[in-house]
Amino acid sequence: MRKIKLLLLFLTCTLLSFQGNSQDMTVTGKITDEQGEPIIGASVIVKGTTRGSITDLEGNFSLRASRGEVLEVSFIGYAAQELEVTGESLSVSLREDITNLEEVIISGLASTVKRSNLANSVASISGKELSETTNQQTMDAALYGKFKGVNITSNSGAPGGGISVKLRGITSINGSNEPLYIIDGVYLDNSAISGGLNTVSKASGGGNQSNQDNPTNRIADIDPEDIEFVEILKGASAAAMYGSRASGGVIIITTKRGTSGKPKINFSQTVGISKILKPLGVREWDATKVETHFGVDEVANFQAAKSAGKLYDYEQDLYGNTGSQRTSRITLSGGNESTGYFVGATVKKDQGIVPNTGYSKNAFRLNLDHKLSDRIKLTTSTNYVKSSADRGFFNNDNSGTTMGIAFVATPAWAELHPDENGNYPNNPYAASNFLQTANLVTNNESVSRLISGATLTANLMQRDKSNLQLMVRGGLDNYTLETRAIFPNTLQFQKDGNGTGGASIQGTTTSANTNLAAFLIHDYYASPALTFRTQLGTTAENFNRNNIIGTATFLNGSQTNLDQSGSVAVSQSRLLQNDRGIFFQEEVNYNDMIIGTAGVRADKSSNNGDPNKLYYYPKGSVAINLHQMTDLSSAGISQLKLRTAYGQAGNFAVFGDKWSSLNPINIDGSAGLVISNTIGNENIKPERQSELEFGFDAGVLENKVALDFTYYIKSVDDLLLRAEVPTSTGQTVKVVNAASLENKGIEIGLNLNLINTEDFRWSSRTSLWQNRGLITRLDIPSYTTGGFADFLGQFRIKEGHSPTEIIGVGPADQQDEDGLVIFGNAEPNFQMSFMNNLSFKGFEFTMLWHWKNGGKNINLSALLSDLSGTSPDYDRIDLDPDSALGNGDYRLSQLGANSGPYIENAGYLRMREAGLFYTIPQSVLGDTFDRIRVGFSGYNLINFFEYRSYDPEVSNFGGKGLSTGVEVTPFPSSKRFNFHLTATF
Amino acid sequence: MKALKYILLSGLVTFFSCEIEDIPDPNNPSAADIAANAKLSDLQLLVSGTESLLRSEMGFYYDVLNIVGREQYFFTNSDPRYTGEILGKGASSLDNAGFYGTRPYAGRYIVVKNAHILIDAVNNTAESITAQEKNGYTGFAKTVQAYSLLLVLNMQYDNGIRVETYDPENLGPFLDYNGALTSISSLLDEAYGELNNAGDAFLFDLSSGFAGFDNPQNFAEFNRAIKARVALYSGDKAGALAALNNSFMDLGGDLNNGPQHFYSEAGTDLSNPLFRTRNASEALVAHPSYMADIRPSDKRRNKVSRRNNTAVLDGLSSDFDVDLFASPSSNIPIIRNEELILIYAEANIGTNNNEAVAALNIIRNAYGMPDYFGMPADDAVTNELLYNRRYSLFGEAHRWIDLRRHGKLDTLPLDRTDDDVWEKFPRPESEVGVQGG
């Protein structure tokens, strides 16, 4: 797999054809790995010049050089080496770079840099680590726990994903915290588009008016198995060149490409199952408890059900499905000297743990590279995805209809099972019979998406000391999302005058985003020791989205077409945005000892108050390789780099915040216009983030042990707030740039590669990271947000406090000047991940542990089940300080007076991934197969947490803003087991 | 080669320096544009929008006032506050950010705001409309503003409210309860004057909820009905009687006559937020005292219906569903002739108790009860009045206000130890500490 690494090829192809005129001989050689296998596509460059070559199928190279010059040999995944030209023949074996100190990083928009010369802490992992340990359902799920400084939380366990990604803490309060995703140079749309379920759930009718549909983030469409490499630029110091969209960081994805050689076919098949992560159990009932919670009349019903053996475990009925999982994938790659190709196809079908939920995806990729001439190269990527997610009906509502809300309201003696004719009885304890809901409701998102990009690289001018390249890149991301929510009129909550006599809610969203960029890259080799690289580029991104949702009610019988109904309503919303940017960057490298970079980007956007006002984002960084200056090997130190970087980046206002609009409304067949809740701000400007980071990278024992440390200070000014205005204005919020916040944190990584023999190898990566946020300036009064009400726990935005601080009501002696009590912080104390890879002969064992220490959630599932007396821990006594009341009674006794009992520790320790694989020896295989690998793997297999619900990773409000960690009866998380078979031939 | 470099450089810069066009809001018209330069059709849109907004958050207003006035419970698994804070359960108290206070508040002030936009649009329009026609628009706008402010005041009570809110940067002061009532009264009078000089017909249409109240003359009668309610709340009985005189009160007429909030299940229209099916598990039920206290022959017992099973939640229970509306398309009355007759009765107590009793007998007889034969003293007649207001206006958010203005909130039943009867809702958090709040 490692031999198909392409990043470097990409870099060096541009240098390939240079023919010098002052070299006195042809040097040839062979590059191999430690096992003596040839490395194809490794780069060999004469240091300080533009002369270079890449190795062929046999690992051979040939180039012109003179005695005394130094060759740099590198290939991704291997430690780079330098050697002096002493004769006409040179051979090198490269050592695998498990510690990742030597890999090549895409640091800027158009250029790459060796990690050893990088002044930023850029997190990166290979496709192998991303998706080879276990079968990943979606791209987002594959990222968990693998990057330091990255906080990824899933919003629920619903099939098809839905995550929130925060890089180095909160960077925006109302704007997006989500990073920018770029795949092969194409800007990816990562919207989460609501399916309009609010019509039925009425979730926005109560305390919080946000959409709680829990839609998928569209990044989930990307097939994780297509990915060669993922890099994360965590803040402005690394991402400044991406300007106004980079405040949340940038995630750069590079997909697999073909390399010259005979066609290689890779087939893999995965089958598995998914089960609920952690069943909570149900409360044990007796007559006294029944009378207390449901009244004396219910006791007879309970006794009757009990003697008939009809006390049901509804958790098992609703969440107990064993979902089948299967993924088939075939890839073909190869090429010749001028053309490389990679073709991949994936067919995936996963079932969820709730009946009738699941995820399926069919994806196809074609990546083509072609050298048009010695000087011009074209690379193209095309990806077509068709995916479909059935996500069930969960989360908050104000109609008692979601499966989760109805489930917690229903006691064990309720009879919800269908009769012999398939008719479901009404649930007397809730507005819906959730077994019926699970069986009859459709909540489907399906996507048809085409992502396509092309890059043309041309060497315009080359001299021995300098070289000028032009790179032109275009990309398009086009999709149609269809959401389909069908609530038949036979449902308890849609029949007999309830609800709306059935509802068919069908949405179509088309999104067409394009990006175009051109760069000039000039390299100047002033001397073998001193090189300059100058870049100038402009970028243009255009976004165009159109969302139309039709809602039909009073359905004609079992019909679901919008026109087969008594009433239809339509809504439409469009999003249009044009951005333009220009940037300049200068990089100076003195003998790989000191590497300095400075640059600036200027951006304008139709989203700003003034669309043609330029916003400037500067950056600068220095890396010092001490080991290049003096020999530290006597101290056992093979590499020691000090680095510091500073940069700025922006974050746009939410589309539409510029305007005070009149919204459409209807009364008795007449249209009307009504003022919107938001007072627009025509002077709105982007949020501005400044980040300073410094740290060191050290390698000892020939880089068998690598340690890196980073400290960062990231401050965000002009934070966009939806400042509350006095409600008597008739509107509720005004968008203002009115606050600043600061994140400080550390990231530590320790990579060990201590045992590396032919038969036995062990490597591990340990990461530790911590972030602390603080509101440093607030021009408006402090306020609470992100939940339902203060007494149920909310977040508070207050100067001098953390933006993720959770407050509530509580005893008078604990109240602060706002009359509120601080109960904790959603932000964890620290996080740690531990990746281990052991191989012995043909066996390979990998596991990834993830520990999140601390951080609190607001658990309103517990509240809702307490109110119905159904909490599994209702009778257990471990909360009441007086040890008198059961947990349920205790929590309820505090409701309204003390929010504490529902604000819980959401820390966890979990084995995210584990895999055991066996590669069948070549001797057994014969000639047909190159490689056959079989194995077992698991996802979320082992979990430790004290949180009193299905999973501490949860968000009722999706990934928006601050609102992670609020739980209201979500789709429970699952664990998965898989069997794998991979054959290469 | 150098030339090539410069050509490319200038190419890049040129590409970048193209102007970005300012994109207007692709989804909605701009409020400022319409206020400054409205077409006649825009004025109609603003009128319809304003009428539609009269319904905004009204479900919360009714539910919350009916619960706090111990007329109803709302049992839902989705939100604990209906049986918690609103009833003062345990140590809980009302939250100044709680939806039960903030959303009805916002729902009323958005009417005021939209009506301000309408008034601006009418005053600024380039369309040729006469002063009389303009009076029609502004008379409508100010009447609904006054009505909306009254509902805010009902919840805020002696916290007082802002009446002047035209300029969001310079909001008017909070007026105390009586001051606010006086200002609302003046606004109604101003509107009344305009409606009386608005010709024979409005230049705009209202929904069928205002059937019979859709020209300047009969809309003015609605204006006076609200005026009578305001005068009664101010203790100005003479003023109430004078207003009733010009209102649509008809002692012999249909008790249900009056303008209504229009509801429909069609398209994007709103359906009646108070409608519930019988026996629903998410139940809007009558407070047990409703049936406990009702007199044997009183037909107003038909406003509730017996459930198949007792509704139980959070230590509360009821056997009766609230059964006021036939369907989700049923309109909700804004003010009914029945209330006007009751205002008439109340305004006569102390000066003409015979007339008061005569008015009460109209109500009693309508519900199957004989004429009043109790004591003619003020207290006794007042008690009879309050009984009839309780049952006649059940579910219309009156009982809590009535008991408060008669100093009888302490007569409301407390269902659980430590429950509370609130006197008012807290001033919303958004108003605290800003612009004089």
Kindly state whether residues A710 and A834 are assigned to the same domain. Answer: yes
- The answer to whether position A876 is within a domain reads no
Average pLDDT over residues A187-207: 76
- Cβ of A886: how many Cβ atoms within 10 Å? 20
- Are A571 and B435 inside 8 Å of each other by CB? no
In DSSP terms, A484 is beta-bridged to A444, A506
Q: Which residues contact B379 (CB under 8 A, 6 or more apart)?
A: none
Asked if A781 is an interface residue toward chain B (Cβ–Cβ < 8 A), one would say yes
For residues A464 and A479, the answer to whether their CB atoms sit within 8 Å is no
Phi, psi of A222 (to 5 degrees): -70, 135
Strands (DSSP E) found in A157-212: 163-167, 180-183, 186-187
For residues B341 and B253, the answer to whether their CB atoms sit within 8 Å is no
Asked if B10 is an interface residue toward chain A (Cβ–Cβ < 8 A), one would say no
Structure tokens at B227: 């005026």
Least Cα distance to A283 among A321, A317, A319, A312 occurs for A312
- Cβ of B88: how many Cβ atoms within 10 Å? 19
**What residue has token string 């062990």?**
A762
Structure tokens at B391: 């049952």
| Full 3-state SS string of A287-317 | HHHHHHHHCCHHHHHHHHHHHCCCCCCHHHH
Asked if A430 is an interface residue toward chain B (Cβ–Cβ < 8 A), one would say yes
Strands (DSSP E) found in A391-495: 442-462, 466-487
Closest approach of B180 to chain A, Cα-based (Å): 14
Kindly state whether residues A153 and A208 are assigned to the same domain. Answer: yes
Q: Which of A96, A114, A145 is the last residue of a domain?
A: A96
Kindly state whether residues A952 and A839 are assigned to the same domain. Answer: yes
Integer Cα distance of A249 and A357 in angstroms: 33
Average pLDDT over residues A6-17: 35
Per the structure, the complete domain to which residue A62 belongs is given by 2-96
Asked if A461 is an interface residue toward chain B (Cβ–Cβ < 8 A), one would say yes
CATH assignment of the domain containing A73: 2.60.40.1120
Asked if B424 is an interface residue toward chain A (Cβ–Cβ < 8 A), one would say no
H-helix segments, B235-259: 237-245
Structure tokens at B168: 């969001």
Integer Cα distance of A154 and A970 in angstroms: 11
Asked if A536 is an interface residue toward chain B (Cβ–Cβ < 8 A), one would say yes
Q: How confident is the model at residue A396 (pLDDT cuts 50, 70, 90)?
A: confident
Q: Give residue B360's identity as a one-letter amino acid code.
A: L
Kindly state whether residues A160 and A52 are assigned to the same domain. Answer: no
Average pLDDT over residues A179-196: 87
Kindly state whether residues A74 and A137 are assigned to the same domain. Answer: no
Asked if A37 is an interface residue toward chain B (Cβ–Cβ < 8 A), one would say no
Asked if A885 is an interface residue toward chain B (Cβ–Cβ < 8 A), one would say no
CA A49, A53, A54, A56: dihedral to nearest 10 degrees? -170
C-alpha separations of A131 from A450, A934, A978 in Å: 22, 15, 13
- The answer to whether position A202 is within a domain reads yes
Among the ranges given (A467-476, A705-714, B262-271), the one the predictor scored with the smallest mean pLDDT: B262-271
- The answer to whether position B326 is within a domain reads no
- The answer to whether position B413 is within a domain reads yes
* A93: exposed, middle or buried (Cβ count in 10 Å: 0-12, 13-18, 19+): middle
Least Cα distance to A719 among A246, A242, A238, A170 occurs for A170
* B418: exposed, middle or buried (Cβ count in 10 Å: 0-12, 13-18, 19+): exposed
Q: Tell me the average pLDDT of chain A.
A: 86
- Are B34 and A496 inside 8 Å of each other by CB? no
Evaluate the CA torsion angle A401, A407, A412, A418 in order and state its sign: positive
Question: What number is the ipTM of this complex?
Answer: 0.91
C-alpha separations of B436 from B162, B167, B173 in Å: 10, 14, 6
**E strand or H helix at A405:** helix A403-408
Integer Cα distance of B303 and B321 in angstroms: 9
> A789-814: per-residue pLDDT in tens?
888 899 999 999 999 999 999 998 99
Closest approach of A607 to chain B, Cα-based (Å): 8
pLDDT of residue A107: 61
Q: Give residue A929's identity as a one-letter amino acid code.
A: F
- The answer to whether position A714 is within a domain reads yes
pLDDT at A462 over 90: no
pLDDT of residue A98: 56
Integer Cα distance of A941 and A274 in angstroms: 10
Q: Write out residues 366-405 of A within 8 Å (CB-CB) of B.
A: 396-400, 405
- The answer to whether position A424 is within a domain reads no
Integer Cα distance of B179 and B161 in angstroms: 9
- The answer to whether position A463 is within a domain reads yes
Closest approach of A616 to chain B, Cα-based (Å): 14
pLDDT of residue B16: 66
- The answer to whether position B51 is within a domain reads yes
Kindly state whether residues A133 and A72 are assigned to the same domain. Answer: no
Number of domains in chain B: 1
> B340-396: per-residue pLDDT in tens?
999 999 999 999 999 999 999 999 999 999 999 999 999 999 999 999 999 999 999
| Full 3-state SS string of B67-86 | HHCCCEEEECCCCHHHCCHH
Asked if B16 is an interface residue toward chain A (Cβ–Cβ < 8 A), one would say yes
pLDDT of residue B155: 98
Per the structure, the complete domain to which residue B353 belongs is given by 34-274+281-319+334-418
Residues on chain B touching A518 (C-beta within 8 angstroms) = 11-12, 15
Among the ranges given (A106-110, A239-243, A530-534, A877-881), the one the predictor scored with the smallest mean pLDDT: A106-110
- The answer to whether position A520 is within a domain reads yes
For residues A103 and A122, the answer to whether their CB atoms sit within 8 Å is no
- The answer to whether position B286 is within a domain reads yes
Q: Give the one of A468, A500, A659 whose C-beta lies nearest to B5's C-beta.
A: A468
Kindly state whether residues A143 and A27 are assigned to the same domain. Answer: no
For residues B66 and A686, the answer to whether their CB atoms sit within 8 Å is no
- Are A409 and B13 inside 8 Å of each other by CB? no
Closest approach of A788 to chain B, Cα-based (Å): 8
pLDDT of residue A130: 77
- Are A297 and B49 inside 8 Å of each other by CB? no
> B63-84: per-residue pLDDT in tens?
999 999 999 999 987 788 999 9
Strands (DSSP E) found in A337-465: 339-351, 358-371, 376-390, 442-462
Radius of gyration of chain B (CA): 25
Structure tokens at A58: 């046999």
Higher pLDDT, B159 or A754: B159
Radius of gyration of chain A (CA): 29
Residues on chain A touching B263 (C-beta within 8 angstroms) = none
> A562-591: per-residue pLDDT in tens?
999 988 888 888 999 999 999 999 999 998
Pairing mode, if any, of strands B72-75 and A615-625?
unpaired
> Would you give the DSSP letter of residue A970?
P
For residues A312 and A412, the answer to whether their CB atoms sit within 8 Å is yes
- Are A662 and B30 inside 8 Å of each other by CB? yes
Closest approach of A523 to chain B, Cα-based (Å): 13
Residues on chain B touching A568 (C-beta within 8 angstroms) = 267
Closest approach of B347 to chain A, Cα-based (Å): 32
pLDDT of residue A106: 65
Asked if A726 is an interface residue toward chain B (Cβ–Cβ < 8 A), one would say yes
> A57-88: per-residue pLDDT in tens?
678 888 888 888 888 887 766 777 888 888 88
H-helix segments, A68-193: 127-131
CATH assignment of the domain containing B80: 1.25.40.390
CATH assignment of the domain containing A473: 2.40.170.20
pLDDT at A19 over 50: no
Q: How confident is the model at residue A120 (pLDDT cuts 50, 70, 90)?
A: confident
Q: How confident is the model at residue A9 (pLDDT cuts 50, 70, 90)?
A: very low
Closest approach of B379 to chain A, Cα-based (Å): 39
Kindly state whether residues A146 and A60 are assigned to the same domain. Answer: no
Name the residue of chain A whose CA is nearest to B97's CA: A789
For residues A598 and A585, the answer to whether their CB atoms sit within 8 Å is yes
| Ranges under pLDDT 50 in chain B | none
Q: Write out residues 848-877 of A within 8 Å (CB-CB) of B.
A: 863-864, 867-868
Q: Give the one of B29, B102, B312 whose C-beta lies nearest to A673's C-beta.
A: B29
Q: How confident is the model at residue A152 (pLDDT cuts 50, 70, 90)?
A: confident
Kindly state whether residues A72 and A137 are assigned to the same domain. Answer: no
Integer Cα distance of B399 and B420 in angstroms: 16
- The answer to whether position B269 is within a domain reads yes
- The answer to whether position A111 is within a domain reads no
| Full 3-state SS string of A864-894 | HHHHCCCCCCCCCCCCCCCCCCCHHHHHHHH
* A299: exposed, middle or buried (Cβ count in 10 Å: 0-12, 13-18, 19+): middle
Q: Which residues contact A59 (CB under 8 A, 6 or more apart)?
A: A30, A31, A32, A37, A38, A39, A40, A42
**For the stretch B181-196, what's the b/e string if a residue is b when 16 or more beta carbons lie within 10 angstroms of its beta carbon?**
bbbbbebbbebbebbe
Kindly state whether residues A69 and A150 are assigned to the same domain. Answer: no
Least Cα distance to A219 among A165, A175, A166, A256 occurs for A165
Residues on chain A touching B105 (C-beta within 8 angstroms) = 727-728
- Are B45 and A730 inside 8 Å of each other by CB? no
Least Cα distance to A865 among A392, A314, A439 occurs for A314
Structure tokens at A437: 């809901």
For residues A973 and A923, the answer to whether their CB atoms sit within 8 Å is no
Q: Which residues contact A313 (CB under 8 A, 6 or more apart)?
A: A282, A320, A412
* A241: exposed, middle or buried (Cβ count in 10 Å: 0-12, 13-18, 19+): buried
Q: Give the one of B46, B91, B93 whose C-beta lies nearest to A673's C-beta.
A: B46
Asked if A614 is an interface residue toward chain B (Cβ–Cβ < 8 A), one would say no
Q: Which residues contact B88 (CB under 8 A, 6 or more apart)?
A: B94, B418, B419, B420, B421, B422
Residues on chain A touching B23 (C-beta within 8 angstroms) = 576-578, 606, 611
In DSSP terms, A351 is beta-bridged to A358
Structure tokens at B1: 């080669």
Q: Write out residues 24-53 of B within 8 Å (CB-CB) of A.
A: 25-32, 34, 42, 44-53
For residues A347 and A388, the answer to whether their CB atoms sit within 8 Å is no
Least Cα distance to A102 among A129, A124, A83, A84 occurs for A124
> B168-180: per-residue pLDDT in tens?
999 999 999 999 9
Kindly state whether residues A151 and A29 are assigned to the same domain. Answer: no
pLDDT of residue A730: 93
pLDDT of residue A211: 60
- The answer to whether position B5 is within a domain reads no
User: In angstroms, how far is the first alpha carbon of chain B from the final one?
Assistant: 71
Integer Cα distance of B93 and B418 in angstroms: 11
Residues on chain B touching A399 (C-beta within 8 angstroms) = 78, 282
Q: Which residues contact A635 (CB under 8 A, 6 or more apart)?
A: none
- The answer to whether position B123 is within a domain reads yes
Residues on chain B touching A664 (C-beta within 8 angstroms) = 28, 268
- The answer to whether position B96 is within a domain reads yes
Q: Give the one of A298, A573, A665 whose C-beta lies nearest to B27's C-beta.
A: A573
Kindly state whether residues A68 and A210 are assigned to the same domain. Answer: no
Measured in whole angstroms, the distance separating CA A15 from the mean position of its chain's CA atoms is 34
Number of domains in chain A: 2
Q: Which of A79, A96, A113 is the last residue of a domain?
A: A96
- The answer to whether position A420 is within a domain reads no
pLDDT of residue A37: 74
Integer Cα distance of A317 and A348 in angstroms: 26
